[in-house]
């Protein structure tokens, strides 16, 4: 990529990130291009549609979630490590209104790279929790990510109730834990939930 094209690409990603945070992922692409100082044609040359732009923005952001998974892999309590990571995913998604809905959209393969990156980051945590007997059999990381995204979407729709995410995630944790430990769900770690943006 030529130097000027790379600069345009980087500016578009940064402007898109800020726009998604402030206005949500349905912000007008023309506004992103204008703030980046380029024409809409330039935006579409780099990103053929809204979801390719979203995917590129969030792939850059997912390094933090990958790093967090790496930090948690050696934790003494594998299930709590998994749930801590899922809460971090929820906090990330909660920053960008509309991201959870896009991640949940499966039928047309949108945001495939973003989904694959999330699954890869969480798979080792889930496997370790299963091997420790702390999580029910049959649970898949894709299901946990869908569940987390759905909870974030619900919290987004109820911004007046700032504890929506905490309550629903607590219910989800109790349903995911293996039966012997279900009464001891790691609820103490359920603070720090994402706050729905308005």
> What pLDDT digit, counting tens, does each position of 42-85 carry?
999 999 999 899 988 888 888 889 999 999 999 999 999 999 99
User: Phi first, then psi: what are they for 109, rounded to 5°?
Assistant: 70, 20
pLDDT reported for residue 184? 45
CA–CA separation, 126 vs 73, rounded Å? 10
CA–CA separation, 63 vs 70, rounded Å? 11
Regarding pTM above 0.95, the answer is no
> What pLDDT digit, counting tens, does each position of 33-51 carry?
999 999 999 999 999 999 8
What band does 28 get if pLDDT is binned at 50, 70 and 90? Answer: very high
Q: Where in the chain is the domain with CATH 1.10.357.10?
A: 62-187
CATH architecture classification, 3-49: Orthogonal Bundle (1.10)
What is the DSSP secondary-structure string of 97-143? TTHHHHHH--TT-TTHHHHHHHHHHHHHHHHHHHHTT-B-TT--HHH
Domain 62-187's class? mainly alpha
CA-to-CA dists, residue 5 to 14, 16, 36, 133, angstroms: 14, 16, 12, 51
CA–CA separation, 174 vs 178, rounded Å? 9
Q: Where in the chain is the domain with CATH 1.10.10.60?
A: 3-49
């Amino acid at each position: 990529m030529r130097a000027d094209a790379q600069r345009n690409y980087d500016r578009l990603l940064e402007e898109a990130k800020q726009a998604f945070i402030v206005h949500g992922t349905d912000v007008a692409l023309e506004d992103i291009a204008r703030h980046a100082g380029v024409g809409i044609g330039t935006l579409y040359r780099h990103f053929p549609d809204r979801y390719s732009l979203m995917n590129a923005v969030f792939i850059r952001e997912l390094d933090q979630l990958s790093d967090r998974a790496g930090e948690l892999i050696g934790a003494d309590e594998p299930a709590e490590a998994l749930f801590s990571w899922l809460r971090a995913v929820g906090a990330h998604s909660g920053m960008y209104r509309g991201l959870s809905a896009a991640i949940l959209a499966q039928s047309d393969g949108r945001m495939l790279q973003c989904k694959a990156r999330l699954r890869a980051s969480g798979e080792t945590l889930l496997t370790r929790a299963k091997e420790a007997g702390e999580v029910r059999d049959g649970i898949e990381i894709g299901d946990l990510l869908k569940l987390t995204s759905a909870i974030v979407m619900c919290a987004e729709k109820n911004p007046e109730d700032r504890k929506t995410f905490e309550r629903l995630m607590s219910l989800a944790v109790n349903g995911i834990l293996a039966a012997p430990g279900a009464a001891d769900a790691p609820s103490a770690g359920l603070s720090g939930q994402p706050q729905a943006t308005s």
